[in-house]
Structure 1
């Protein structure tokens, strides 16, 4: 047990001195190294940079040079590629081949300790979600052209799925990629909206329509962006995550080499949905830490703020609010920990099938929990929590960021429904397999 007092709800149980079955010595060493690096290079000025709506370019370079963008990738890391690029350890200690999803969880949790999604998202979103389609499905030739620069941070990427008329309904994407008459290029036309990191991206992993309507007509391309003919980009003003570079992209007869096709034509929907699992899980981890930051700030405030002749924490209604939200947040964190542990123990294909629907649900629930905890903190701060400066500034901003968890990566209602549909689908397929094994008799 830790002998040092900590603000209630400010740290996950394993960092508050309580025993946990999940964390090995390698994880605990990684957590300390992560906290030191991220505190020094990001957290100290995260709120200031978010207020300015842009994280300075040198911060991305510092993270890239230290290999501290790589932990945002799905585990296991692309060991063969990293060693080919001379990257053998992270922060001088953790071997890249020893990296698992619990290391990923620790990294995402530490990156969110500012309470804000924008500063960390400005650095990691492209690597976390734009690179995996290349790693999983790109041909050796395609990988050799792009991965060396992307994995080392010499160039930046993004994931470009969402459009003005196609958000959670991915199958409705309308951006077209038509082969040129000589068959050497795709001609891309359309628009992409709410693309995080897009404004800084040299290339994107983009969903396009190469065939007819519906999911079978979707493919993925590596599409050049920054400074490329036919591409125009502008930043969008959004309610939260303001420093993450949310971008509107217009594509007007953009010529993309045919060799930039990721995997096979018509397989884009499968690639996109598999990629979403990592995105949704990392969103859930970060959002749960944001909820923790909000509650811890509120706890610290009510311990020292006095009203009616005593500290706010002496008021039963204040304790009720903290208790209810604290229980939600710690339950959510326990789910996240258990979920990530399951991913480390299951083979990739089994995990995709068994946990795919639950990934959608854990992401959706993280948004619900963040919204409740941020609202609780804002109400306990009172007028200070409704002011964009001063002692409640961070809480006010976290509250504005809650919709940025509940909408992107699959909107909340769609995610809850998807989760149940996937669980039912798994149940039916297992039932049918069992019946076939018994000779196929049915009542």
Structure 2
């Protein structure tokens, strides 16, 4: 795949070092993680030591003060690992959960939590989704009531990545019970072990198997008033602001997966013989792969364009929504064809391509379903 026009030598070095780390420290060891249902904490600490968990955070707290293009590189290379569960474990920590703290935390909150998140000593999750409130954030029912110097949380969250083995949670709750729709939502910092907070159950998924996913329960969970993050009743705007980052990295991850799947499939069909010739000799197969490669190049270009716009401080809601809709659907089309061209081997549970098919499906759902994203685009046409 070609390099985006935005790449500098620093971008290339970052990508090459990250790819080398993933090829040496992740891919050879990740199969047991699928069975365990989690990414080892030691791997997160390794990534923290190498600077991959604090790419865009201030150097004051141990970060690198880089821009959104680097986040896109991180997500794309994680996707190329072929382990979607590993990829999302990292990107939830770096680009979906911790930005809530980085963007809206008080100096005291930042000093208390951010260095540990950047080192990988603490792993975080964002807990907004509920059984009846996914893409429709306004449907949140978890509530928080002020009681002196504390807030009391009651409710539940569903499909929370890093929910089982995480340490720190950014929780959305209704704080103005009279407000309608998206108004009256606030975000709270909740530490694991807080009385009244528990993991209801670990959830079994079709894919992303080495990513732990949980139902969370809050039952008279008392947290200090100082754990309010970003201001009372301001949570919806905080969530919407970070959605752009979340959706961009999902698109980048999807294109990393798609590009790697095409590479693997080209290698396979060049070797696999049928009817006296390799599959690559079949015009229909090589032309389908050529078309998919062209589409992935276009998707990657859109990803990096959106990342560049964000890095320039420009409004990119339309472009990011396009990224999420296009790339979430495209990766599934690519993986469908790649599995098809692997034949019966591609349907075996233990093969890389079969795992990638399972992992890719959710990328048209999580972070904003395709239909929701297309409505966001349509509003701005």
TM-score > 0.5, shorter chain as reference: yes
1:45 to 7, 23, 29: 29
1:364–1:412 contact (8 Å) kept in structure 2: yes
Q: CA deviation at 1:45?
A: 2.0
Aligned: 1:13 with 2:32: no
Q: Which residue of 1 aligns with 2:202?
A: 235
Q: Does 1:104 align with 2:62?
A: no
Give the distance between the partners of 1:215 and 1:246, measured in 2 at CA.
25
1:149 aligned to which of 116, 119, 125: 116
Aligned equivalent of 1:407: 365
1:373 maps to 2:334: yes
Q: How does 1:33-432 map to 2 (within 5 A)?
A: 33-71=17-55, 75=56, 77-82=57-62, 96-97=64-65, 99-180=66-147, 183-211=148-176, 212-224=179-191, 226-233=192-199, 234-344=201-311, 346-347=312-313, 351=314, 354-389=315-350, 393-421=351-379, 423-424=380-381
Does the CA-based 8 Å contact 1:209-1:219 persist in structure 2? yes
Q: CA deviation at 1:133?
A: 1.3
Distance in 2 separating the partners of 1:79 and 1:59: 22
CA contact (8 A) 1:193 1:247 kept: yes
Count of residues paired in the alignment: 378
Quick one: distance in 1 between partners of 2:145 and 2:135? 24
Kept after mapping to 2: 8 A contact 1:47/1:114: no
User: Offset of 1:296 from its aligned partner?
Assistant: 1.4
How far did residue 359 of structure 1 move? 0.8
Q: 1:337 to 1:142 in 2, by over 3 A?
A: closer
Which range moved further: 202-211 or 110-119? 110-119
SS in 2 for 1:219: strand
Rate the CA distance shift 1:133–1:115 in 2: closer, same or farther, 3 A.
same
Q: Secondary structure at the match of 1:253?
A: strand
Alpha-carbon offset, residue 51 of structure 1: 4.3
1:190-212, Cα deviation, whole Å (9 max, x unpaired): 11011000112222111110013
Residues 144 and 175 in structure 2, CA contact (< 8 A), matched pair in contact too: yes
TM-score with structure 2 setting the length? 0.94
CA contact (8 A) 1:175 1:189 kept: yes
Q: Distance between the aligned counterparts of 1:273 and 1:165, measured in 2?
A: 18
CA contact (8 A) 1:301 1:381 kept: yes
Deviation track 1:67-107 (CA, whole Å, cap 9, x = no partner) reads 32223xxx4x323333xxxx6xxxxxxxx24x222222222
5+ residue gaps, structure 2: none
Q: Is the 8 A contact 1:54 1:244 kept in 2?
A: yes
Contact 1:168-1:411 within 8 A present in 2 as well: yes
Ranges of 4+ aligned residues in structure 1 off by more than 6 Å: none
**Structure of larger gyration radius:** 1
Change (3 A) 1:304 1:145: same
C-alpha deviation, 1:336, in angstroms:
1.5
CA-to-aligned-CA distance 1:296-327 (integer Å, 9 cap, x gap): 12111110100011001111221232123222
TM-superposed deviation, 1:48: 4.1
Return the TM-score normalized by structure 1. Answer: 0.81
- Structure 1 residue 271: Cα displacement: 0.2
Higher relative contact order (CA 8 A, sep 6+): 2
Distance 1:55 1:156 in 2: 11
CA RMSD of aligned residues (A): 1.7
In the alignment, is the contact (CA less than 8 A) between 1:155 and 1:202 conserved in 2?
yes
Q: Mind listing any 5+ residue stretches in structure 1 that lack a counterpart?
A: 1-11, 15-19, 88-95, 425-443
Cα offset, 1:138, TM superposition: 1.6
